[in-house]
Amino acid sequence: MDLASLTVVLRAALSPIPEERKAAEQSLNQVKCCFPSAVQSVFVRLGVVDCYPLLVLIVLATFQHTPQHLVRMLQIIVDGSCDIGVRQVASIHFKNFVAKYWSPHDPGESHEVLESDKNMVRENILGFIAQVPPLLRFKSDEERTPLYLIIEETFPLLLNVFNKLVHVVNPTIEVADLIKLICKIFWSSIYLEIPRPLFDPNVFGSWMVLFLNILERPVPLDCQPSDPEVRKSWGWWKVKKWTIHILNRLYTRFGDVKLQRPESKTFAQMFQKNYAGRILGCYLQMLNAVRIGEYLPDRVTNLLLQYLGNSIPKNSMYQLLQPQLDIVLFEIVFPLMCFNDNDQNLWTEDPHEYVRKGYDIIEDLYSPRTAAMDFVSELMRKRGKANFEKFIQFIVNVFRRYDEAPVEFKPYRQKDGALLAIGALCHKLKKAEPYKSELERMLIQHVLPEFTSPVGHLRAKAAWVAGQYANINFSDQNNFRRVFHCVIAGFKDPELPVRVDSVFALRAFVEACVAEEVIRGLLQGQAVVVECLFVPASSLDGICQSMLCGDEPECAIWKTTRDLRRVKDVARSQTTRDCDVWRIRNINLNEIRPILPQLLDEFFKLMNEVENEDLVLTLETIVDRFGEEMAPYAIGLCQNLASAFWRCLDSSESDDDADDSGALAAVGCLRAISTILESVNRLPHLFVQIEPTLLPILQKMLTTDGQDVFEEVLEIVSYLTFYSPTISLEMWSLWSLIVDALGDWAIDFFDNILVPLDNFISRSTSHFLTCKDPDYQQSLWKTLSSIMSDQNIDDADIEPAPKLIEVVFQNCKGQVDHWVEPYLRITIERLRRAERPYLKCLLMLVIADAFYYNPILTLGLLHKLGVAAEVFNLWFQMLQEVKKSGLRANFKREHDKKVSCLGLTSVLSLPADQLPGEAFERVFKATLDLLVSYKDQVAAVQSANPARFQNLTRSLDFHYQALASGIAQHAEQRKVEIEKEKLEKTSN
């Protein structure tokens, strides 16, 4: 989701006031570009009157796990052009998302945040924290005292030097460098707060006089470099840029009375009264350079327009802007939105760079075009009543002049800008009448013809706009098909940017075809299923864990891939049962099926030319949508993605200073491979054929070379070790790499490592037990004992270790007697030091599994270690602990209860001389209590889907029906006894 859409969603969560809520709802409805065209009609047909809360939940639930979501949220937090309320909501969501998903907390939960996103956040977080206003971060005055002391001592001297430099006659470039340095020092001092000395109006006024002097003074014309790339870094333009930076920060962070603490309101009022309007006038004068064709650096233009955009909501500033608004909008902002000479040069000379800049969110921070689009969006959102119709009429006139002009005189660049404006305003146009009902005609009349334009950038823009409106209501489905086929035809366009934009537009069309079943699924209470359908398969691990609470009998932990398959099965069955909404657009996917082979060929031709994560994301969307239909192409897809991965990796490694597009695309390739493996999980023979292609990637990236993609690589290993008919010796060669990484640097990935190691042990138990070179049992013991005995490793990071010990005991029954004592030793040692309740439960489950493995051996070892009484007392204590709510405090999962029951019933099988009568009774009662609790939990699951369990019960033979009935009756009887015992204790 782009920044504008995400901002709309966050804004919708702000106000409980009916009038403001209604306005927010209107804004939120504009986000329906993310949903099917018939969203509103679907809600109406389904009897949903108030869809506002659902829309908020749908948007955030759907997109919070998509790539760069966290980065975009951070951008909103530091974006001074956003309302402070929106930024505050974003900061809260950012905090909660990081707390919940940055590192998994719950058992079996996988990493939800891409490593590439984490790296981008890590690289920018300090600078961004310094930019946020007081409302969004907290820093005590005491902690800032050293800074205040430095400022009090140095700023008077700096001000004196600054004043002398500003008044130098015929200053040299060295003077500019010194002024720039002073500006940067001042900028750093106001990152977080206005320093106390600057609250003095006289002191602050002295600084402002100099800043305004610099702002109003023209840049020297002589000595300016002729090369635009060199000129933008020229010293005097740098001085202008840093001065504008300072004034923008003062305005957006400290100049709004509503946002300031009481002690800062006086400063804000003073700034608004004395400086804000004057700065606006200076900025308008500077922007006039765009109007008359003079030079103005892109970054400076961007900053000037940001200030204007922030002025729109403020009545006093808007009144100052209004007299010149038409000039700004039509003669400055719109020309910036149009295709220009620089675009043409880049398009012609370096189309790859043109594509990169067009889809780089960091470039947006410096782009005049992005700032112009943001200005238009803000103007139409805040002051749309007076400006929206006027602006749309202007765009219509551009279309009309274009249509009427002969071919040799058509204003191609203005048409490009008009299409960009239409795309940028898609949210509002999809909502507002009479424009909403005219969108289909607009596409056919003004967009469709440009797919065959002789001008390449118009063909690209037509594809982009088509993608923006892929989900509107088409009264004539043939029109949808016409636009759709034009987008597909763009895959073979001779111009690279056209092909790229066509690919991205295709993703919008595919998502438009499936989005309505998502709405239906949500309204049926399948919120998790909805997210599963929308989010690529490779990011579903945690969702699966939270949705499905049971475990299979032979397995101590959830398998990521197993969960994933089940969720997708549920999703498909739930969204098609008793539901015909999804059929509205499903027919359009039939347009793709016949041409899938050719389409995939074009995809990989394009991936050979461009390293772009969004390309891979589009492919992933198609694979995820068509599922098992991709089976005939799975081997070829994996081969091509593997080749693309190696190219992206080589590109990112060859130039350490290059942007991250190659690395991000490499991650995307791995995610797409995971999606393909998921789509063919019921065809195990394919995994055997795909494995040789992927093995070299796995062997390289399971070392320190693959730290940035370790999670994605482990997921591929999980698929191959679980769905392949057998685990090959070549795959077994990865064991040592994984275990070595875990023991060396990969403890943060322990949850991810757990899955393939479990698969190795549980699906190839014989090889695990018999192979001595390498000795897998010994290597596992060495690693687990080292981790569990390390006092510097937190409880949360150790949790997968006891789960792996469980896997060994459960799958190797009777064959690892020599490992029972050492594993019990390290388990009990860690149990004594454990503080986290969940880790205590896991460690106790290891002991329960040991009893299940061999009760006589285990009890003897506990007596040998002198801990038998200690262990049993703690076990019973944990079983009896309850929260204030009355719910069980420990062993909360079904799996926990099952393993505890298995352990306790194994204890009951001990000979009478080893288990005295009193101990036998205690164990027996604890077992019954646990069985009751387990039965209640299973009943809760059954109540969620009673038909499924009833059908299962009917299908059982008489023996199992009687057994199930007997257990249920006994559990009910024991439940009554427990309640009776509680009453007796209370009365006593």
Q: What digits encode the pLDDT tens for the residues 432-469?
A: 888 999 999 999 999 999 999 999 999 999 999 999 99
Confidence of residue 974 (pLDDT cuts 50, 70, 90): low
Mean pLDDT across 609-632: 85
pLDDT for residue 873 is more than 60: yes
The tokens of 553 are what? 């009998």
3-class secondary structure for 660-681? CHHHHHHHHHHHHHHHHHHHCC
- SS3 state of residue 882: strand
Lowest-confidence region among 6-15, 84-93, 959-968: 959-968
Task: Give dist(CA 871, CA 663) in Å, integer.
Answer: 50
Does residue 302 contact residue 283 with C-beta atoms inside 8 Å? no
pLDDT at 399: 97
Residue 220: Cβ within 10 Å count: 15
Mean pLDDT across 794-804: 94
pLDDT for residue 42 is more than 80: no
Mean pLDDT across 552-579: 35
DSSP string, 711-730: HHHHHHHHHHHHHSSS--HH
With the CA atoms of 30, 33, 38 and 40 taken in that order, what torsion angle do they form, in degrees rounded to the nearest 10?
Answer: -20
Backbone angles phi, psi at 416, to 5 degrees: -60, -45
pLDDT at 519: 43
State percent of the chain over pLDDT 70: 76
pLDDT at 234: 93
Which of the pair, 819 or 614, is modelled with greater confidence? 819
pLDDT at 942: 57
Most confident of 82-91, 119-128, 622-631, 948-957: 622-631
pLDDT at 565: 39
Most confident of 10-24, 366-380, 875-889, 943-957: 366-380
Name the pTM for this structure: 0.67
Does residue 94 contact residue 74 with C-beta atoms inside 8 Å? yes
Most confident of 375-384, 546-555, 653-662: 375-384
pLDDT at 578: 32
pLDDT for residue 285 is more than 90: yes
Most confident of 218-222, 768-772, 886-890, 920-924: 768-772
Which of the pair, 268 or 587, is modelled with greater confidence? 268
Mean pLDDT across 917-923: 79
pLDDT in tens, 678-722: 999 999 999 999 999 999 999 999 999 999 899 999 999 999 999
pLDDT at 161: 94
pLDDT at 238: 94
Mean pLDDT across 304-322: 94
Lowest-confidence region among 284-298, 587-601, 827-841: 587-601
Lowest-confidence region among 357-366, 959-968, 977-986: 959-968
Residue 768: Cβ within 10 Å count: 24
State percent of the chain over pLDDT 90: 49
Task: Give dist(CA 313, CA 766) in Å, integer.
Answer: 70
Confidence of residue 65 (pLDDT cuts 50, 70, 90): low
Which of the pair, 58 or 766, is modelled with greater confidence? 766
Task: Give dist(CA 486, CA 478) in Å, integer.
Answer: 12
Confidence of residue 567 (pLDDT cuts 50, 70, 90): very low
DSSP string, 551-573: --TT-SS--HHHHHHHHHHHHHH
pLDDT at 404: 96
Does residue 260 contact residue 267 with C-beta atoms inside 8 Å? yes
Which of the pair, 541 or 73, is modelled with greater confidence? 73
pLDDT in tens, 500-539: 999 999 988 888 875 444 444 444 444 333 333 333 333 3
Which of the pair, 346 or 579, is modelled with greater confidence? 346
pLDDT in tens, 745-793: 999 999 999 999 999 999 999 999 999 999 999 999 999 999 999 998 9
pLDDT at 546: 32
Mean pLDDT across 146-167: 87
Does residue 841 contact residue 890 with C-beta atoms inside 8 Å? yes
Does residue 435 contact residue 425 with C-beta atoms inside 8 Å? no
Q: Which residue type, as a one-letter code, is found at position 624?
A: D
pLDDT at 142: 63
Lowest-confidence region among 279-293, 766-780, 841-855, 944-958: 944-958
Confidence of residue 39 (pLDDT cuts 50, 70, 90): very low
Lowest-confidence region among 413-417, 603-607, 909-913, 949-953: 949-953
Which of the pair, 108 or 414, is modelled with greater confidence? 414
Mean pLDDT of the chain: 81
Does residue 428 contact residue 380 with C-beta atoms inside 8 Å? yes
Does residue 166 contact residue 213 with C-beta atoms inside 8 Å? yes
Does residue 563 contact residue 109 with C-beta atoms inside 8 Å? no
Mean pLDDT across 847-869: 95
pLDDT at 361: 77
Most confident of 122-136, 156-170, 885-899, 968-982: 156-170
Does residue 862 contact residue 823 with C-beta atoms inside 8 Å? no
pLDDT at 723: 95
pLDDT for residue 18 is more than 70: no
pLDDT at 5: 66
pLDDT for residue 543 is more than 60: no
Radius of gyration of the chain (CA): 32
Confidence of residue 121 (pLDDT cuts 50, 70, 90): confident
Write the CA distances from 401 to 394, 411, 587, integer angstroms.
11, 8, 38
Lowest-confidence region among 455-469, 599-613, 967-981: 967-981
Which of the pair, 883 or 953, is modelled with greater confidence? 883
pLDDT for residue 948 is more than 70: no
pLDDT in tens, 208-250: 999 999 999 999 888 888 888 888 889 999 999 999 999 999 9
pLDDT at 130: 57
pLDDT for residue 110 is more than 70: no
The CA-based diameter of the chain, rounded to the nearest angstrom, is 105
Task: Give dist(CA 93, CA 73) in Å, integer.
Answer: 8
Lowest-confidence region among 249-258, 338-347, 549-558: 549-558
Does residue 516 contact residue 36 with C-beta atoms inside 8 Å? yes
Contacts 24+ apart (CB under 8 A), 383-390: 383/312, 383/318, 384/428, 387/325, 387/329, 388/428, 388/432
pLDDT at 70: 76
Task: Give dist(CA 759, CA 807) in Å, integer.
Answer: 9
Mean pLDDT across 71-86: 75
Confidence of residue 941 (pLDDT cuts 50, 70, 90): low
pLDDT at 965: 63
Write the CA distances from 168 to 199, 540, 542, integer angstroms.
28, 63, 63
Which of the pair, 47 or 938, is modelled with greater confidence? 938
pLDDT at 340: 95
pLDDT for residue 829 is more than 90: yes
